[in-house]
Amino acid sequence: MSNLITLCIIITILSNLMMMISTLISKKSHLDREKSSPFECGFNPQFSTRMPFSLHFFLITLIFLIFDVEIALILPMIETFKLTNLLMWFLLSMFFFLILLMGIYHEWNQNMLKWLN
C-alpha to C-alpha distances, 45 to 5, 41, 116, nearest whole angstrom: 51, 9, 26
User: Using one digit for the tens of pLDDT, what is the confidence trace for 60-86?
Assistant: 788 888 888 888 888 888 888 888 888
Cβ atoms 101, 117 nearer than 8 A: no
pTM, full prediction: 0.47
Which residues neighbour 46 within 8 Å (Cβ) at sequence distance 6 or greater? none
Q: How confident is the model at residue 94 (pLDDT cuts 50, 70, 90)?
A: very high
Residue 70 and residue 102: Cα distance in Å, rounded?
14
User: Using one digit for the tens of pLDDT, what is the confidence trace for 38-56?
Assistant: 665 655 556 555 666 677 7
Which of 5-14, 73-82, 95-104 ranks highest by mean pLDDT?
5-14
Delimit the domains of the chain by residue range: 52-109
